[in-house]
Chains A and B, each alone.
Chain A
Amino acid sequence: MTIAPDTLPEIPEAEVLREDNGYHAFCGLTCTGWLYQKMKDSFFLILGTHTCAHLMQNALGVMIFAKPRFGVAMVEEGDLSAPQIDITDIVKNIVEEHNPSIIFLLNSCTPEIMKVDFESMARRLNQQFNNVPVLPVRADGLEYTMTQSEDCVIESLLQFCPVAPAGDKRIVFMGAVNDVNTTDLKREAEKLGLPVAGFVPANTIGELPAIGPDTILAPLHPYVAKSITQFSRLRGAKVLQSQFPIGPDGTRVFFEDLARHFGKEINLAEREAEIWRNLESKVSAIRGKRIFITGDNMLELPIARFLRKCGAELIEVGTPYVNRKFHKRELQALNGLRVVEMPNMHRQIRDIRELKPDLVVTNFWEANPFEAEGIATKWSTEIIFTPIYGFTGASDLANLFARALNRHRKLDVLDWKEFLPNNQEN
């Protein structure tokens, strides 16, 4: 990875404890839930089992339309002993029915254990359907948690990014964020006189930006480490090493660092302060609160950094995976906090019961049971589906936590404690 010339000061970082991976999280397949919507000319084909199909329809509450742009090529019992898994007909159908510009072929646990040769399967399909690229993407739960597979999807997109000539010095933002955020980030950069080439992923394959030796790759969130390293290695592009543009603090650092790549020293202190002023009513709900993040979606580091800036006390920041180099700036901002990689969920539950935080940021299946024990929660998955990026996204971000905390504050006046589970018999 080429790191920008800006010399990074040696700042102490949070120590990362590593546990035993006994955490609960969705697998990599779930990234399909947002990526198929982001990339409007794509089709996501999962090579999986009945379990994968059931996961897809349940986990994210994905709406089923008449013709969803994702599906599961289902490995059935007969396929287990077949000499070769053949999905030609399925792909043929997809091409005829949906006419996608691109097909992502996602692996899953079962074919992984069966040792299906995925790459050559994709190669064969590419020869048969030479007008629609079929890209193999690793998304199996043996190795990848929900957001990590976005990295694998993005990695496969490089071949569709034109090569930018030397001297074309523009920014390419990396990471799937929604259009409200992309418009905003581009606008913000251009206002600062920083030229933007585009976003990876883009809404369609044709809109992917050119990437070359003078491109500045700017990661938007913590789960694009692999693809950004690849892009930089293969095209010689520079990688911005900064905080992620999440929260007014992170956004400010992000743009100031980005400007340095263009030889500009800008000071966004006033802009940041203005945003904090706008957020005050929400921040005041967060200030002084004790927050525990169990960790499942990899956004935990920047989220914790933002909450800390709001004046919250972070009891623990769990996260599935830490890349010390790629997450360096966030780890510096978390210095002194307890960061746990691959946390053990059962240990966390024990700790949370003992420590009684004011708020637990956690997954779908722990949220309601904690609430039943009288502990306020916020769904971690909701963070992924909220446009939290940049200066204008900060209000949505603060809202997520302020709302959960305020809700509990307001319950006290209703005098209905006896109705709640922790005061009930069963």
Chain B
Amino acid sequence: MRMSFWEYQGTAHTGVARVASSMNGVHAVAYSPVGDCYINSMFTMMEREKRFPPVHTSVLDLKTMGMGINRLPESLREVSHDHNPDLIVVTQTCSSSLLQEDYGSLARQANIPNEVLIYAPNPFRVEEDESANGLLTVMVEQFAAMKLPPTSKPSVNIIGPISLGFHHKHDLLSLQRMLETMGIAVNVVFPLGATVADIKKLPQAWATIAPYREMGADAAIVLEKMHNIPAVTSAPIGVVATRKWVREVLESLNKFASGNGLTFDLKEPAIAAFSMDQKSAPSGLPWFTITADVQGYSSKKAFVFGDFTHAVAITRMLATELDMQIVGAGTYNRKLANEFRELVKPYTDNIICSSEFAEVRKAIGETLPDIVMGTQMERHTSAEFDIPCATISNPTHIEDFSLSYQPFLGYDGSNFITDRVYHTCTLGLEKHMIEMFGDAGLGVEEARLKANERGKIQVAPEPEAREQELEAYKIAEELRAKATQLAVESGAAVAVKAPPVAAITAELVWTDEAQKALKQIPFFVRPKVQKRVEEYARSHGYSLITLDLVYEVREKAQQ
């Protein structure tokens, strides 16, 4: 029993849903109370998924429980009828797992032609990533057992990109760009966009790329064991790691070729070949770090937290390539803790493997870094301590599913990450100026914005501000009148819309009641509403703003 305000991951069925939602012709059926279907909204809202999520809730409710009815067979028939998928994955959630249903026999009762896979890990033990990762492994074991002859040209599988993965779609694009430069074809991407038939094709690749340790690496290793297809499980994040990865991929392919009597010798392409224009350095990071203002980064302290892959790679990249001091590094993938410690030990002594955000918060509070690279939760924590923060890992907000190309992997990724770090940190030179000469009023503005961001109540303008506003209003009115006059005189085709004749009298006074009503309006629209009410009052010749007047304006709904 513990108190939870917030979790880094969802539960096992979220992982299953993510796999199904990534694929084509695969449907998940979760035997659960109706509310557990909330995960579907993550696909359609966060990632703006175009399809109805292929995740069906087989509703467990009090009525059916009382009657001893299980709807699962009926749900399977419904899914079979509506979607006719190649594969249905049956899973459970916390509450339904307690009922210890025999899913195998229930699935047989459904009597449907579709293949059914029961994948119901213990939701009290297995979290989202582990569950999805486990399902990928099971699918490989089950559907990729048949040996196939290798493709005639060098090709690789990419295992790991998944629905709701952190920048995964962009990562995939970055990998594909690099592979194309290297003259390597992509055999299968799994699970994103894959079908069951695609899984069956996995054994014909020369190597498997699985950049995410917590998502898909195990499936790649299983494939290696089954068919001797080398698995490349390092993450090409940062320039050094990317270059190493390129060589590792080439080596694996050459090794596979010689082991299978294929005459192929792939060479590392020239560095410029990886760039967008084929002429320049594919990553601007090496030059960027030695430019004058970035040299100051060597004194900056960074704190890194996230999933295993991103936390390890960003720690290494910040420490070695951007020359920052790592004051803390951690991951919420607790089951990979030992491996994590081993990998980040060279960069920091302060290692946190925990799924309790409060622990991470405490560590940030104690180290007070200059920059935090973390999840959505560390963003909240950092705002509290007033430390700049960039997201480098799930869980994240909707804005991390960007329209523009923002990969983390590869040379393209190194540029994006560097930009993200740079935009997050206080600028080098500007910071020196501020330290020397004060903030020239910038700080005031910033503080005001920050206060707004944090949902602090904005105070209504003071009387003198209101006077200024009135003054500004007068001036605006005069200008508009002038413009209209000019337009009329010059016979302009477009006449400026005549303003309402405002009865600008003395200052407006708000009654206490009306002020209270104004305070009930959410802070972020309050100034707009205030302005609207005051304009209305002026144009109707009121000098006293009453509660009734506030609602009269609302009623008139002048949007």
Contact = CB atoms under 8 A, between A and B. Distances in A.
Interface of A: 21-30, 49-51, 53-55, 57-59, 63-66, 68, 71-80, 85-87, 90, 93, 108-110, 112-114, 140-143, 145, 178-180, 183-184, 187, 275, 278-279, 282, 346, 349-350, 363-369, 372, 391-392, 394-395, 399, 421
B44 interface: yes
Q: Is chain A's interface secondary structure helix, strand, loop, or mixed overall?
A: helix
Contacts of B60: 142
B419 interface: no
B38 A76 contact: no
A25 B45 contact: no
Contacts of A141: 33-36
Interface in B283-338: none
Contacts of A65: 380, 455
B1 A27 contact: no
A50 B127 CA distance: 9
A365 B34 contact: no
A363 B41 contact: yes
Contacts of B38: 26-27, 55, 58-59
A331 to B, nearest CB: 23
B547 interface: yes
Nearest to B384: A66
A187 B548 contact: yes
Interface residues of B, number: 67
A150 B5 CA distance: 21
A51 B44 CA distance: 19
B551 A54 contact: no
B11 A365 contact: no
Nearest to B529: A180
A110 B32 CA distance: 11
Contacts of A23: 34
A76 B551 contact: no
A404 to B, nearest CB: 14
A109 B11 CA distance: 15
Contacts of B7: 50, 53-54, 57
Contacts of A108: 95
A21 B11 contact: no
B94 A346 contact: no
Given A25-B35, A51-B95, 20 more contacts: A21-B59, A26-B38, A49-B94, A50-B7, A50-B127, A51-B10, A55-B35, A55-B36, A58-B10, A66-B380, A78-B1, A109-B35, A110-B98, A113-B95, A113-B98, A141-B33, A143-B61, A346-B82, A363-B41, A367-B44
A340 to B, nearest CB: 16
A234 to B, nearest CB: 25
A30 B34 CA distance: 13
B3 A368 contact: no
Given A22-B59, A180-B521, A346-B82, A114 B53 contact: no
B454 to A, nearest CB: 9
A279 B95 CA distance: 47
B543 to A, nearest CB: 21
B84 to A, nearest CB: 13
Contacts of B95: 49, 51, 108-110, 112-113, 142
Interface string B44-88: 110011111100110111110100000000000010001000000
A79 B548 CA distance: 56
Contact of B124 (A29, A49, A349): A49
B230 to A, nearest CB: 31
Contact of A368 (B33, B50, B93, B98): B50
24 contacts: A21-B34, A27-B36, A29-B35, A49-B11, A50-B124, A51-B93, A54-B9, A54-B14, A55-B38, A58-B42, A59-B41, A64-B380, A71-B3, A73-B4, A80-B98, A109-B35, A143-B62, A364-B41, A364-B45, A365-B41, A365-B45, A366-B44, A368-B50, A372-B51
Contacts of A74: 1-4
Contacts of A369: 44, 49-53
Contact of B35 (A27, A183, A368): A27
Nearest to B41: A364
B133 interface: no
Contacts of A364: 40-41, 44-45
Given A24-B40, A113-B95, A349 B52 contact: yes
B554 interface: yes
Contacts of A110: 94-95, 98
Contact of A178 (B13, B34, B520): B520
Across chains A and B, which 8 residue pairs bring their CB atoms closest together, nearest first?
A: A27-B35, A141-B35, A395-B557, A109-B95, A364-B41, A179-B520, A365-B40, A141-B33
Indicate the member of B95, B548, B551 with the most A CB atoms within 10 Å. Answer: B95
B122 interface: yes
Contact of B1 (A29, A90, A145): A90
Contacts of A114: 98
Contacts of B554: 180, 184, 392, 395
B221 to A, nearest CB: 28
Nearest to B46: A58
Interface string B9-47: 111011000000000000000000111111111111100
A73 B1 contact: yes
A364 B53 CA distance: 11
Given A27-B34, A64-B380, A365-B43, A278 B61 contact: no
Interface string B453-480: 0010000000000000000000000000
Nearest to B52: A369
Indicate the member of B10, B39, B554 with the most A CB atoms within 10 Å. Answer: B554
A49 B36 CA distance: 11
B154 to A, nearest CB: 27
Nearest to B13: A51
B11 A54 contact: yes
Contacts of B93: 51
A39 B547 CA distance: 23
Given A71-B3, A79-B1, A369-B44, A391 B82 contact: no
B59 A53 contact: no
B124 A71 contact: no
B44 A365 contact: yes
A30 B33 CA distance: 14
B517 interface: yes
Contacts of A180: 517, 520-521, 554
B318 to A, nearest CB: 26
B435 interface: no
A77 B122 contact: yes
A79 B557 CA distance: 54
A51 B36 contact: yes
A373 to B, nearest CB: 9
Contact of A49 (B3, B6, B37, B123): B123
B557 A278 contact: yes
Given A51-B123, A80-B124, A93 B3 contact: yes
Indicate the member of A51, A72, A141, A278 with the most B CB atoms within 10 Å. Answer: A51
A140 B33 CA distance: 9
A129 to B, nearest CB: 16
Interface in B113-137: 122-125, 127
Contacts of B65: 142
